[in-house]
Structure 1
Amino acid sequence: MAHDSTQRPALLMTGPYQPWDDAWLSSAYEVHRLWEAPDRAAFLAGQGAAVRAIATRGDLGADAALERRAIAGAALDVFWNEPRIDARFLALPNVLLQPHHASGTIETRQAMGALVRDNLAAHFAGEPLLTPVA
């Protein structure tokens, strides 16, 4: 999916705990904090005019908007049912899936490493992956 910043704004939706300094963004980009939006439904009903990166916890209601192509595209790194990914996302060409890398506890890092190891073992054994990403 190509993005032309001269024609379409990229909207970044962030969770309430994530502070952002908007000054670094160029005029081709906008930051919208969905939880503060006066009309969340209208925001999500955009007519494919934006590529949105959703970097927050919990359901923002973007799933249906992505499926009906109301959102041109989204990069997702958090999911309501982590580490499992909703299979609907695997079939959507307007979605980029990325593992979430923001945690820093020893236990979480060990679990992430174990998951990578187990996925690799499953792959090389010809078995289904525990957390497939298309």
Structure 2
Amino acid sequence: ELSLMKDDAILINVSRGGIVNEDDLYDALKNNVIFAAACDVFVEEPLNKDCPLLELDNFVASPHVGGSSNESLIRMGMGAFANVDAALNGKSPKNLIS
């Protein structure tokens, strides 16, 4: 599937580890199938320092903190508060999973 991407594509994975096959990503980057990649999530976390992806100049890793800006943490807290408030006041929480 990575070979279907343009050779100047940059893959960014901030969703879940395992969505992108790390071995295939390594091969695609090593062989210039795609231009570069950046990942914030991995199958194994914390990422092993011996991960071959880290040897590549066209790969950037962050330690699963991409969504941890001050703004996002405030929004997550406010969203959780709004859901608890709704539930305590007999309303349906916005993010109800049924």
* TM-score, normalised via structure 1 length: 0.39
Bigger proportion of residues as helix: 2
**Identity across matched positions, percent:** 34
Name the counterpart of 2:45. 82
Rounded Cα–Cα distance in structure 1 between residues aligned with 2:10 and 2:47: 24
Higher strand proportion (structure 1 or 2): 1
Which residue does the alignment assign to 2:17?
58
Larger radius of gyration: 2
Q: AA paired with 2:27?
A: A
| Amino acid in structure 2 at the alignment position of 1:75 | A
Q: How far has the Cα of 1:48 moved from its partner?
A: 2.0
- Residue of structure 1 in register with 2:55 after alignment: 91
Superposed displacement of residue 81, structure 1: 0.7
Q: Work out which structure has the larger RCO, using CA pairs closer than 8 Å and 6 or more positions apart in sequence.
A: 2
Q: Normalization by structure 2: what TM-score?
A: 0.51
Question: Contact 2:7–2:35 at 8 Å: present in 1 too?
Answer: yes
Q: How far apart, CA to CA, are the structure 2 residues paired with 1:87 and 1:98?
A: 13
- 1:1-134 equivalent positions in 2, closer than 5 A: 41=1, 44-45=2-3, 46-59=5-18, 60-61=20-21, 62-85=25-48, 87-101=51-65, 102=67
